[in-house]
Amino acid sequence: MKTVWDKYQKDDLKKVMGFSEDYKKYLDHAKTEREAVTEAIALAEKAGFKEFKGKGKLKAGDRIYFNNRGKSLALFVIGKEKLEKGMNILGAHIDSPRIDLKQNPLYEDNGLVLMDTHYYGGIKKYQWVAIPLALHGVVCKKDGTKVTVAIGEKEEEPILEISDLLIHLSRDQLAKTGAKVVEGEDLNALAGSIPAKGKKDESDLVKKNLLAILKKEYDIEEDDFISAELELVPAGKARDLGLDRSMVMGYGHDDRICAYTSLKAILESEKPERTSACILTDKEEIGSMGSTGAQSAFFENSVAELLNAQEGNYNELQLRHALENSYMLSSDVSAAFDPNYPGVNEAKNAAYFGKGISFNKFTGSGGKSGSSDAPAEYIAKIREIMDRNEVMFQFSELGRVDQGGGGTIAYILANKNMDVLDAGIPVQNMHAPYETASKGDIYEAYRAYKAFLKDA
Ligand code: MN
Ligand code: MN
């Protein structure tokens, strides 16, 4: 099997490893959709991007971003051609499966304080117990202030945990099916056990003590959880995997791995022929709905603003043209072939580690249900660009026909009548607390995105 590792020379290997070092740093600082946006803006501003202010005429080479509520982002490098002629668009999502705190989370039970949760996205719940969890997010207070929280990443900081049942007493539990071994309502995180000094007959003293700590250290009251977004995510950093260091294991590859590589590609786009665009979107894991999901008007509104700035007066037909003349690579992780579970794949159409960026003509499930199914003509165009730029790529499907399936944001943009092809980086253990990807594929994806922005 020919892989990227056959292709890379010594100098290439240095670049591949260096790129992954930067990626790991991004992953460590971008554990939530909000943090992913904050980090992306910091990198973009360093690369000369400015937030759109609506003033002044646009010129080729201008570098602009739109920040949507700190949870999704659209970046543009204005091309030499008019926007109406279309854009080359990269898209990926920055939300990942996780365990959210409920709006009324805190309770005391037999001298322990727990936090009740509601999981986000598709998870195997049994994977999220008995591992160190960090608490990230924001608490919005009635006076308009916002407390940003990230507890449990530094070694000296405390962590939280959702307990698992000891094996010694698990006879009944282990007779259950995997989906029922750990159930959603039982995902309660252990948060404290020291009681406040109170009267003997006073109840909930442990909770009282914990609330005092929250008040003192973060100025958070119990009511404030109502207007909070607090996410439990695996604590700790992304690590090199394999004795040859060829892979990265970390939380949230899906889909920050495609977000980071897409972002890096647009940050390096200089005066392109067609306008380069990059959408980093939220809420993909729960259906892309809402103001910060891919179905939001946010991206279209941003393009309308740019057209208004470029043309001087906004015309809806120009927006329709700009969208339908665009090309898009919609990126989301693919399922990497796993020798431990070969039966779920059909070998000729599986994605493999080290074979480069993975394209999918369609996603969906059953008879391709729910997929936008990219036109063959457009796929031919992308193949030609990849070959011309010596990017290694593979074409795959998500597993055997009728084995399962999944969706991406591709159809949402394709519905605007543009050509969209699904692309992505193969990962193992998708949606587990720690996922695995090949450094070679990460680097080829970045090279693929650069080639696409330049030549599509
Ligand atoms: Mn996913
Ligand atoms: Mn995904």
Count CA atoms closer than 13 A to 246's CA, side-chain side.
13
For residue 371, the CA-to-ligand 1 centroid distance in Å is 15
Calpha distance 335→15 (Å, rounded): 25
Kindly report the CA angle at 232 between 227 and 238, in degrees rounded to 5? Answer: 135
Q: What's residue 201's pLDDT?
A: 84
Q: What's residue 154's pLDDT?
A: 97
For residue 431, the CA-to-ligand 2 centroid distance in Å is 9
For residue 112, the CA-to-ligand 1 centroid distance in Å is 33
Residue the block writes with tokens 């193969």 = 426
At 327, phi and psi to the nearest 5?
-115, 145
Given a cut of 80, whether residue 55 has pLDDT beyond it is no
Nearest bound ligand to CA 91?
Answer: 2
Q: What's residue 56's pLDDT?
A: 79
Average pLDDT of the segment spanning 211-226: 96
For residue 285, the CA-to-ligand 1 centroid distance in Å is 5
Using one digit for the tens of pLDDT, what is the confidence trace for 255-268? 999 999 999 999 99
Given a cut of 80, whether residue 9 has pLDDT beyond it is yes
For residue 122, the CA-to-ligand 1 centroid distance in Å is 7
Q: What's residue 32's pLDDT?
A: 98
Cα 369 from chain centroid (whole Å): 23
Given a cut of 90, whether residue 311 has pLDDT beyond it is no
For residue 312, the CA-to-ligand 1 centroid distance in Å is 40
Averaged confidence pLDDT in the chain: 96
Q: Does domain 4-96+251-455 have CATH number 3.40.50.150?
A: no
Share of residues in the chain with pLDDT > 70 (%): 100
Average pLDDT of the segment spanning 95-116: 98
Nearest bound ligand to CA 282?
Answer: 2
Query: pTM to 2 decimals?
Result: 0.97
At position 75, the amino acid (one-letter code) is L
For residue 257, the CA-to-ligand 2 centroid distance in Å is 10
Kindly report the CA angle at 262 between 256 and 268, in degrees rounded to 5? Answer: 135
For residue 284, the CA-to-ligand 2 centroid distance in Å is 7
Q: What's residue 76's pLDDT?
A: 98
Which residues have C-beta within 8 Å of that of residue 377, sequence separation ≥ 6?
none
Q: What's residue 198's pLDDT?
A: 81
Given a cut of 90, whether residue 405 has pLDDT beyond it is no
Which residues hold their Cβ within 5 A of ligand 2, which is an ion? 254-255, 332
Looking only at the bridges linking them, the beta strands covering 228-234 and 435-438 are unpaired
Pair of tokens at residue 9:
């020379």
Looking only at the bridges linking them, the beta strands covering 419-424 and 327-331 are parallel
Nearest bound ligand to CA 93?
Answer: 2
Q: What's residue 348's pLDDT?
A: 96
For residue 330, the CA-to-ligand 2 centroid distance in Å is 11
Given a cut of 90, whether residue 392 has pLDDT beyond it is yes
Q: What's residue 179's pLDDT?
A: 94
Using one digit for the tens of pLDDT, what is the confidence trace for 325-367? 999 999 999 999 999 999 999 999 999 999 999 999 999 999 9
Given a cut of 80, whether residue 200 has pLDDT beyond it is no
Nearest bound ligand to CA 259?
Answer: 2
For residue 204, the CA-to-ligand 2 centroid distance in Å is 41
Given a cut of 90, whether residue 406 has pLDDT beyond it is no
Ramachandran sector of residue 331 (left: φ over 0; alpha: ψ -120 to 50; beta: rest): beta
Q: What's residue 183's pLDDT?
A: 97
Calpha distance 378→359 (Å, rounded): 12
- With bands split at pLDDT 50, 70 and 90, how would you rate the model's confidence at 376? very high
Name the helix (H) or strand (E) containing 331: strand 327-331
Q: What's residue 328's pLDDT?
A: 98
Residue 200: C-alpha distances to residues 203, 297, 365 (Å): 8, 57, 59
Select the CATH number that applies to the domain covering 98-234 from these four: 2.30.250.10, 3.40.1110.10, 1.10.730.10, 3.40.50.300.
2.30.250.10
Q: What's residue 264's pLDDT?
A: 98
Nearest bound ligand to CA 431?
Answer: 1
For residue 254, the CA-to-ligand 2 centroid distance in Å is 5
For residue 80, the CA-to-ligand 1 centroid distance in Å is 36
Calpha distance 175→307 (Å, rounded): 61
- What b-and-e string marks burial along 289-308, b requiring 16 or more CB atoms within 10 Å of the CB? eeebbbbbebbbebbbbbbb
Calpha distance 410→71 (Å, rounded): 19
Average pLDDT of the segment spanning 65-75: 98
For residue 84, the CA-to-ligand 1 centroid distance in Å is 33
User: Where are the chain's structural domains?
Assistant: 4-96+251-455, 98-234
The helix/strand/coil state of 107 is strand
Calpha distance 395→308 (Å, rounded): 39
